[in-house]
Amino acid sequence: MAGRSRDTYKKRQKEVARAEKAREKAARRMERKLHKKTPELDANGEPIEDLDDDLDLDDAADDADKDAEDQVPMHGGRPVIG
């Protein structure tokens, strides 16, 4: 019976560590959520504009066509041959 207390102690320590990790993860989620709501500011205190809007969409469409040609058709997780 002496062995049971050590196992119980280990189990309790694992539970505490798991709970602590969950709290840290929840705090990181909240931080990201708050960060998304507040825009980044430049040196003048104005919001930084997103540079992704200036991309040429024609190049992206050409890349998507190339990727589609390289893909193998799949059925049920297996490649379709023939």
**Confidence band, pLDDT 50/70/90 cuts, at residue 5:** confident
Residue pair 20/27 in contact (Cβ under 8 Å)? The answer is no
Q: Where are the domains of the chain?
A: 2-79
Q: pLDDT tens-digit profile of 25-77?
A: 999 999 988 877 776 777 777 767 765 555 555 565 566 666 656 677 777 77
pLDDT attached to residue 6: 84
Structure tokens at 54: 């200036």
pLDDT attached to residue 69: 62
